[in-house]
């Protein structure tokens, strides 16, 4: 399979996976809007919430890195700049969710 085809399939697959996760997250945000801080921390320290938030962060950063990479491919003509931009993008797409997940999993009440 060609690399652009794989990339297209990953973009479509991750976007389909993001739909139920974003619906769930929207309901969660609406439900905790008027809660106290301690109640919100308790909710986000439960195991199902941690797992779903982790999946949401990983998939959303994966999706955004792929789509931003497509923008670089389409609009940046200089190959060196494009390669550096893609490497920095992928580095941040790994570091930001990793740091966020470490913080979430170490969150204590």
In tens, the pLDDT along 8-27 reads: 899 999 999 999 999 999 99
Contacts of 68 (CB under 8 A, 6+ apart): 89
**What's the number of CA atoms in the CB half-sphere (13 Å) around residue 35?**
14
Q: Per-domain residue ranges for the chain?
A: 3-105
Asked whether 26 and 52 are in contact (CB, 8 A), the reply is no
How far apart (Å, rounded) are the C-alpha atoms in residues 41 and 39? 5
In tens, the pLDDT along 41-82 reads: 888 888 898 899 989 989 999 999 999 999 998 899 999 999
What is 3-105's CATH number? 1.20.1300.10
Position 108 pLDDT exceeds 80:
no
């Amino acid at each position: 399979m060609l690399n652009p085809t794989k990339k297209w399939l990953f973009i479509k697959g991750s976007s389909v996976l993001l739909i139920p996760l974003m619906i769930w997250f929207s309901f969660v945000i609406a439900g905790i809007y008027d809660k106290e801080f301690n109640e919100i921390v308790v909710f986000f320290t439960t195991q199902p919430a941690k797992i779903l938030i982790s999946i949401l962060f990983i998939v959303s950063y994966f999706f955004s890195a792929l789509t931003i990479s497509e923008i670089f491919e389409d609009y940046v003509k200089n190959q060196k700049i494009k390669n550096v931009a893609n490497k920095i993008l992928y580095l941040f797409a790994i570091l930001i969710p990793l740091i966020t997940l470490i913080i979430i999993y170490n969150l204590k009440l």
